[in-house]
Amino acid sequence: MQKPSKFLVWLSTFIFCFLFWLLLTWSVAARELILGGIVSAVVAAFSGRFLIHHQAFYLYNPVRLVILIFYCAIIFLWEVIKANLSMAKLVLSPKLKYEAGIIRVPGSEKIKSEYGLAMVSNCITLTPGTITMDVAEDEDGKNYYYVHWINVAESDREKAGEAIKGRMERWIGRIWK
Amino acid sequence: MRIAIDILLGLGVFFILVGVLGVNRMPDVFGRLQASTCIATMGTISIVIAGILYAIANAGETVTYVKLAVLLLLVMGTNPISNHALCKAAYKMGVKPSKELAIDDYKEDDPE
């Protein structure tokens, strides 16, 4: 994959920083806008190359943004609620059933980029009961997540992967590749 | 509206209680880390949504909702990173789990 030009990297990071600045200050006074522009330009010049590696404007796409918001607000929230309820049941039961293990689950074929991998592993970590410890790649370029699972219900790795991240991964595959 | 806010606040406090109890009851480091995720997810989500509803009910300014939403985003964005780092560091340092792990692929494969 070819690297995007320096200017595009800077511009993309600049837009991101500036939108974040607008969210934080929430005013359109000229002073705030000019100050935000200067700060964002400096920050983007220094940090753009860490943030953007492939396509500079990949996420500035209405379809992807809508899917991202839908995913965060509905799918992810539902998974978090389910996991929280089972965690509450586990903690409040008089006899603590604790059968932990670290299991290697195969990642999806579609998700190859760093952003996608990072988002899947962060979503796994955010659901109580599972923590991603590492992501590794084998010789064929297939990705594996090492997940610490509090209650190993399934020792078959494919099925465990489906139980841990099945639906979340399918939705993230529509956002990142 | 008032009732919805109360229910959400109660839910948030309940899940924070679950998280704290879990941190106390779990037998080892990894279990404690897992239980603490409850506080950062359901606790924060419910309480922030309750705050947003409260601001709407009392005709607060738009700034309030936006800042609450940004707060939620920041907590949800930074919590998994610290949790992952702590868990991996504890494993690499050789912290012993309270009893044998049911399955340990990480030790068998040992990436890097």
Q: Residue B101: which of A26, A101, A121 has the nearest Cβ?
A: A101
Residue A158: per-residue pLDDT? 80
Domain boundary among A32, A51, A70: A51
- Please enumerate in sequence order all residues whose Cβ is within 8 A of that of A103, keeping only pairs 6 or more positions apart, or say none: A146, A147, A149, A152, A155, A157, A160, B103, B105
Locate the chain A residue with the closest alpha carbon to B14: A88
B11 touches chain A (CB under 8 A): no
B22 touches chain A (CB under 8 A): yes
Assigned domain for A144 exists: yes
Whether A39 and A78 map to the same domain: the answer is: no
The residue among A20 and B106 whose pLDDT is bigger is: A20
Whether A74 and A148 map to the same domain: the answer is: yes
Length of chain B equals: 112
Residue A176: per-residue pLDDT? 80
Query: pLDDT digit string (tens) for A3-19?
Result: 778 888 888 889 989 99
Domain range summary for chain B, segments of one domain joined by +: 2-95
Tell me the C-alpha distance between A127 and A68, whole Å.
18
Assigned domain for A56 exists: no
- Dmax (CA) for chain B in angstroms is 58
A23 touches chain B (CB under 8 A): yes
SS3 B8: helix
Going edge to edge, which strands form the sheet with A143-149? A101-106, A143-149, A130-137
Complex ipTM value: 0.84
Whether A85 and A164 map to the same domain: the answer is: yes
- Average pLDDT in the A63-81 region? 89
What is the extent of the structural domain holding A159? Answer: 62-175
Residue A1: per-residue pLDDT? 54
Query: Residue A98 and residue B31: Cβ atoms within 8 Å?
Result: yes
How many structural domains compose chain A? 2
What count of other Cβ atoms lies within 10 Å of the Cβ of residue A7? 10
DSSP at B58: T
A24 touches chain B (CB under 8 A): yes
Whether A32 and A118 map to the same domain: the answer is: no
Count chain A–chain B contacts defined by CB atoms under 8 A. Answer: 129
Query: Residue A98 and residue B15: Cβ atoms within 8 Å?
Result: no
Assigned domain for A39 exists: yes
Domain boundary among A30, A51, A72: A51
**Token output for A53:** 């590696």
